[in-house]
Structure 1
């Protein structure tokens, strides 16, 4: 009988010693074939997915105390997933009540979600149901299975070999557990005795190439639970929840680098891996309170990585109106803008475009190259006031083939024949207007009002046909490269990029959409009827100067100035004057219970997002009722209250929370 390799292997050179607090890089990806596919081995590995898919989460206060699987694993572990199925009575009730708020969830999943349900049984039944064998939970599993399980990835026993997967199961009866595990509950070919070992109430299950007893011995000497990197991540995260994960980023990075060695790494892959240089670990948890579900992460990193993520005072979200439907706020790092601008410049040069086409035409079409191709230009087609003699049918047909110009009459309640007729009329009108053969179409052509305004040539070409200017109303000449466009913007309009972009974003910015006025969508006739805008904290004088330059450009082009307002520390720009005034004032969103539940760290958050799901439901019901639509789908949204995301820097970690609250 071949003796399984020892773990960790003896190495006088010290190659497997843990450098600077990190496990060593390990070559080769993990292949599922390294473990047998029986119920027990596959169960713990898929537990998290089964629970997430079924909407079953729990708080770490569900934790009944006692030893955790990480205590049975060595500190060289690279990645680890833990599942805890031991809720206290109160938290278990809260968990199942949340699950039962979704209509027919128990029926759809065919599971028992009553308040007396055994979460272990739910999990085992779900896993067994996905296989080809039958397992009696009460007879085959309950007598020996504890409340916790884990699956981990360990360094390989030999250089060049694949990393080793290890499954950890809490057990209450070692004898019964060994019998069940080695037989794989009749669901596989069986497991060799050397692949199973017990330590401090946990069963360790390994592959054929690794002795489970060696893993237990290594864990006794130095466990994952006592590893400083692991402990720091858990401390920053707080409650570990029902399902938690941990990854040693540098160990995983080394594994990826070794597995890609000799395969001709691309520059993109190398750059992506380099982005991880300052990151040490990722710790995550799924947990649930009495009225919300949460996915939380703590990312350990060095100071250089974390500094740009630090907040600059209380998030602007808290001062928004309490009628806010959606908002996103964040701290802005000027260095990140410079980096992004450099990447945009490189991308634009690579693809031969200025990357600023949307700025080249107030008509909204961008430069002439945005319409057809880089060589086609309205500027090279002199036109009069009523005809476009050099615009060919082929060029117009190319325009009509683009989605933004194609007619869409869906949702108007037309029959198929009516819709086909309307489309035919629209296409004829478009081609006629585009080629210049008829610029005076009447309202009766489509049965709608203001056709000659909606479909006028100036909408298609940004008023190019009304001027002798070789560029028409294009803000910039066509055919400019990225840097040439930037220089032309500064020369013609005194817009300096990326400097003015950094001024506009300031130290902190929030973008918001209000729910006011959306109860009747049919009354919305333009952007001014919807309340949306942005508020910036930054250099007030510089912001006002930039606003003045932008307004001057708009006025010269015959457009209205932006709706704006100043604040003590910045500037507001909005879709209408009333909302600009609201954004400039101090609102009460930060005191709204729905907000505080899903954005708990608003005062220290460097970035945050808030969505009022109750408001979305109300707006949907109002508009569906008015239009006579089907509202059956809303029953799945009705239990939900709000959604929020927030990130803050806490010591050596960036801590993020994603929350979904319930009414």
Structure 2
């Protein structure tokens, strides 16, 4: 790493025009000896990975946010805030204490455990084995971290990585980061430190160390953030405001993100490619460039998005909002509501379908499928094998939308010992014109052959139900009371407006797990532990919908008893 000239927090290095992405030459060379610098990155990334454990429990002091140390033109950003509101910290602890496995394994008072564990894992891979976490890292590492991507500035420039890592002591951080950047790499990789400041660099902005792939980039990124930070950017503020109160994790992608990611794929740059325990986290040179260009076309109308993870009211809540998302199966058509399913429903999924949805989806995905047969050729071959007219018959079969549900009243013992599929309460409900739907069902049954007689079909006004269990199929065309269940209401408050939704009752899952273990004659400690850790969970809901401003919204909510 190039020699770092310290400056005060009000005088970031690299003053002047923030040309952190100069064109070509040594200034653009990428690191060839990444291990030590990437140890710094991994210490930050581990906090994001550990959000469900130690990270969610840190009851620590306040301070500025990582977005204050990231340049305003960042196109992608994900941060972990280990010091959210007091209410969220209390909720996180309450939730995690409910699980016997977590309470036993986690020391809720040991805030350094996860960071220390990750550092030791890095060392186990042969990096920085001569350093000690307690002496060289713990004295300065802070509570907040963010990873970001800044676009290029010039024809030959590529996107630049940014790691903003909160520090509690700048002098100690400088010493620790210098040690990390120069410590021995025993992984067997190249020790080449070719021209262009190949070992990376860091600089300071306020309470943060800004780490990047070269010292020049780090200096200029720090200067740019001091001049105009992402926290002050109007687009960033608009999208983060759209997802409500801040939480443990914040995610953001600007309107330019797809283009920059495509550029990254084409360049093949491998940033922060430290991969512990045999995992991989790098882009191979040029890998997937064509595929990324095709994905870029899917996001041609993308206007940005943000997401947040938070703890509140005994639940973990994930909320996302974005605009100009790719046209998937459906974005505006509400699916058949899960609210009127039987109250005993254990799990269910629904999706709404607009006219011509399958043809539109196949057209949009044709390039992503890669080389080989064209979409038209695939459809014609499928028609020959099934006797169906595609995509028309599939669109008719699934109507205006469909739901799949599983009932919690399963006779597990009879199922396991008799093996009769007609006793399994699983069914499909299709919303649409019953005449059109059943005509398509008849074609499918003809393609299946003699076994098609097992398929039961019931219909009501605007609804067709399909399944193998006659009694359950009959219940599906009646109005159920799942929507009256408090657990359902808490995880799917937008159930009736959702274009797609998923629901899971853990009370039903717990009962099924118990029945299965008893029917199988397995009631050992492992099975009992699974049941004990399922017991605190109440329900899970995931849904997406489109608001009046055409913003696509999604929510994932997990509640506990």
Distance 2:319 2:29 in 1: 27
SS in 2 for 1:45: helix
Distance 1:350 1:212 in 2: 47
CA spacing shift, 1:90–1:126, aligned 2, 3 Å: farther
1:32-51 CA-partner distances (Å, limit 9, x unpaired): 84684376554223321233
Match of 1:235 in 2: 241
Deviation at 1:177, TM superposition (A): 4.4
The structure with the largest alpha-carbon Rg is 1
Match of 1:475 in 2: none
Aligned pair 1:48/2:48, yes or no? yes
CA spacing shift, 1:101–1:578, aligned 2, 3 Å: same
CA spacing shift, 1:593–1:166, aligned 2, 3 Å: same
Distance 1:75 1:340 in 2: 35
What are the ranges of 5 or more consecutive residues in structure 2 without an aligned counterpart? 6-12, 124-128, 186-196, 270-283
| 1:185-264 alignment runs, 5 A limit | 195-210=201-216, 212-247=218-253, 248-259=257-268
Q: 1:28, 1:258 within 8 Å by CA — same for their partners in 2?
A: no
1:510-532 CA-partner distances (Å, limit 9, x unpaired): 01121223342346542221122
| 1:16-95 alignment runs, 5 A limit | 33=33, 36-37=36-37, 40-52=40-52, 54=53, 56-57=55-56, 67-95=64-92
Distance 1:646 1:555 in 2: 33
Match of 2:107 in 1: 112
Match of 1:543 in 2: 437
Match of 2:18 in 1: 8
1:417-449 CA-partner distances (Å, limit 9, x unpaired): xxxxxxxxxxxxxxxxxxxxxxxxxxxxxxxxx
1:591-613 CA-partner distances (Å, limit 9, x unpaired): 32332333343232211112223
What are the ranges of 5 or more consecutive residues in structure 1 without an aligned counterpart? 17-26, 357-479, 490-494
Distance 1:229 1:585 in 2: 47
SS in 1 for 2:508: helix
Q: 1:278, 1:305 within 8 Å by CA — same for their partners in 2?
A: no
Deviation at 1:256, TM superposition (A): 2.4
Aligned length: 503
SS in 1 for 2:19: coil
Match of 1:638 in 2: 534
Deviation at 1:320, TM superposition (A): 0.7
Distance 2:261 2:86 in 1: 38
Deviation at 1:128, TM superposition (A): 3.5
CA spacing shift, 1:325–1:63, aligned 2, 3 Å: farther
Deviation at 1:584, TM superposition (A): 1.3
Deviation at 1:331, TM superposition (A): 0.9
Deviation at 1:509, TM superposition (A): 0.8
CA spacing shift, 1:523–1:517, aligned 2, 3 Å: farther
Deviation at 1:330, TM superposition (A): 0.3
1:552-594 CA-partner distances (Å, limit 9, x unpaired): x599959648533323322222323322231112212223233
Distance 1:162 1:219 in 2: 19
Distance 2:153 2:251 in 1: 23
CA spacing shift, 1:45–1:9, aligned 2, 3 Å: same
Aligned pair 1:153/2:153, yes or no? no
**Among residues 552, 563, 570, which one is paired with 2:456 in the alignment?**
563
Match of 2:272 in 1: none
CA spacing shift, 1:555–1:341, aligned 2, 3 Å: closer
Distance 1:213 1:266 in 2: 30
Q: 2:329, 2:358 within 8 Å by CA — same for their partners in 1?
A: no
Aligned pair 1:289/2:306, yes or no? no
**Among residues 129, 134, 138, which one is paired with 2:120 in the alignment?**
129
Match of 1:590 in 2: 483
1:176-231 CA-partner distances (Å, limit 9, x unpaired): 54455445599679x99x95544344343444432544323322433212334323
Distance 1:545 1:497 in 2: 14
**Among residues 331, 336, 340, which one is paired with 1:319 in the alignment?**
340
CA spacing shift, 1:186–1:93, aligned 2, 3 Å: farther
Deviation at 1:263, TM superposition (A): 5.9
CA spacing shift, 1:268–1:186, aligned 2, 3 Å: closer
Deviation at 1:505, TM superposition (A): 1.0
Q: 1:249, 1:281 within 8 Å by CA — same for their partners in 2?
A: no
1:211-253 CA-partner distances (Å, limit 9, x unpaired): 5443233224332123343233312333442123333233222
Distance 1:146 1:55 in 2: 14
Q: 1:30, 1:163 within 8 Å by CA — same for their partners in 2?
A: no
RMSD of aligned residue pairs (Cα, Å): 4.6
Match of 1:572 in 2: 465
**Among residues 414, 423, 438, which one is paired with 1:529 in the alignment?**
423
CA spacing shift, 1:228–1:541, aligned 2, 3 Å: farther
